């Protein structure tokens, strides 16, 4: 408990404060402070704030992925160069050349992993704040910036008759299962897993290069595509409704974010890039990344003709003079 909680403490403070601030704002705007909808809206806005703040991190991650991709041909060349040279010194030389390559492309093996590490504490903090309300309420404690009264209000509030602290599993096992909890939880679990599945599916069907699609990791990726939603679906029956709201909201954000990136900034060499270039061609724009190379070729003959026409009368005039 100790070490992990201490690490998460500042993040939990931030997250709980934002939740508290939105709850306060919506209450001042005339919403019922103890209504589940006020808390639901606060959770959704909390997700919006956190995910907006994390956009630069996401951009960095995309850039790192692109750099790693740009590096692949060089890396393969290097592997071919050292093929069969298994002695220690050759291996060291290969590592040295690899490091130079990473330096040239201004990336490193960890750069696409670092942004994920930065996001982790925020998501953990969010999860623990929303997941621990029942425990904190029982102990009469607050969570971060939320006072014990806030925690109690959050925990007792409900949407469609399902309390934000209720879980699917608990209501099933309680002897008198609440139909509304079961329905709300199931809808949220389906929405949560579906949005995750669609996010992953659109990456795999559109935003991967042919090479990656035929690569050795594809089989694992395909398995993950079906296993991850299953894991979250099964885990979901044990999550309080409040956590399910957060998870669905954040997954929907991810879905939208991925859709935007795939549409406007697809991976070079992917199906999505082909589609983007078709859309650009329909608008009369050159393919992505060829702005300068393509434009003069199209414009050149148009400019060249009037020039020759203009020069001819000039020459005649000069000759006459």
Residues forming the site for other proteins (CB under 8 A): 77, 81, 88-90, 92-93, 95-100, 102-103, 106-111, 114
- Is 92 or 174 the residue whose CB approaches other proteins more closely? 92
- Is 26 or 102 the residue whose CB approaches other proteins more closely? 102
Least spacing, CB of residue 50 vs other proteins, in Å: 21
Least spacing, CB of residue 57 vs other proteins, in Å: 12
Least spacing, CB of residue 227 vs other proteins, in Å: 24
Least spacing, CB of residue 89 vs other proteins, in Å: 5
For 79, the token pair is 């592997």
- Is 77 or 291 the residue whose CB approaches other proteins more closely? 77
- Is 99 or 316 the residue whose CB approaches other proteins more closely? 99
As a 3-state breakdown, the chain gives helix, strand, coil percent values, each rounded to 5, of 75, 5, 20
199-217 residues labelled b (16+ CB within 10 A) or e (exposed): bbebbbebbbbeebeeeee
Q: Do residues 192 and 251 lie in contact, with contact meaning Cβ atoms separated by under 8 Å?
A: yes
Contacts of 158 by beta carbon, 8 Å cutoff, 6+ apart: 36, 164, 166
* Distance in angstroms (rounded) separating the CA atoms of residues 195 and 174: 30
Least spacing, CB of residue 70 vs other proteins, in Å: 14
- Is 100 or 278 the residue whose CB approaches other proteins more closely? 100
Contacts of 136 by beta carbon, 8 Å cutoff, 6+ apart: 142, 143, 148, 151
Q: Do residues 32 and 154 lie in contact, with contact meaning Cβ atoms separated by under 8 Å?
A: no
């Amino acid at each position: 408990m100790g070490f992990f909680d201490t690490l998460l403490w500042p993040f939990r403070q931030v997250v709980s404060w934002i939740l508290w601030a939105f709850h306060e704002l919506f209450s001042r705007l005339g919403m019922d402070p103890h209504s589940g909808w006020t808390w639901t809206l606060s959770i959704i806005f909390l997700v919006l704030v956190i995910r907006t703040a994390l956009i630069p991190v996401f951009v960095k991650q995309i850039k790192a992925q692109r750099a790693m991709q740009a590096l692949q041909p060089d890396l393969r060349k290097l592997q071919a160069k050292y093929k069969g040279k298994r002695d220690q010194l050759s291996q060291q030389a290969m590592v040295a050349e690899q490091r130079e390559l990473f330096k040239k492309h201004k990336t490193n093996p960890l750069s696409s992993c670092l942004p994920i590490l930065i996001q982790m504490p925020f998501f953990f903090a969010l999860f623990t704040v929303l997941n621990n309300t029942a425990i904190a309420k029982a102990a009469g404690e607050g969570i971060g910036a939320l006072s014990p009264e806030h925690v109690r209000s959050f925990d007792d509030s409900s949407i469609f008759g399902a309390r934000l602290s209720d879980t699917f599993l608990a209501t099933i096992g309680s002897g008198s299962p609440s139909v509304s909890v079961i329905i709300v939880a199931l809808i949220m679990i389906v929405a949560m897993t579906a949005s995750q599945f669609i996010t992953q599916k659109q990456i795999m069907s559109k935003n991967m290069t042919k090479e990656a699609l035929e690569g050795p990791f594809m089989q694992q990726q395909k398995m993950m595509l079906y296993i991850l939603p299953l894991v979250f679906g099964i885990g979901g029956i044990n999550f309080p409704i409040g956590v399910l709201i957060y998870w669905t909201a954040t997954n929907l954000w991810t879905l939208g974010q991925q859709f935007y990136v795939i549409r406007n900034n697809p991976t070079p060499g992917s199906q999505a890039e082909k589609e983007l270039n078709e859309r650009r061609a329909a608008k009369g724009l050159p393919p992505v990344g060829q702005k300068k190379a393509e434009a003069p070729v199209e414009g050149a003959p148009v400019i060249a003709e009037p020039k020759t026409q203009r020069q001819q009368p000039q020459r005649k005039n000069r000759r006459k003079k």
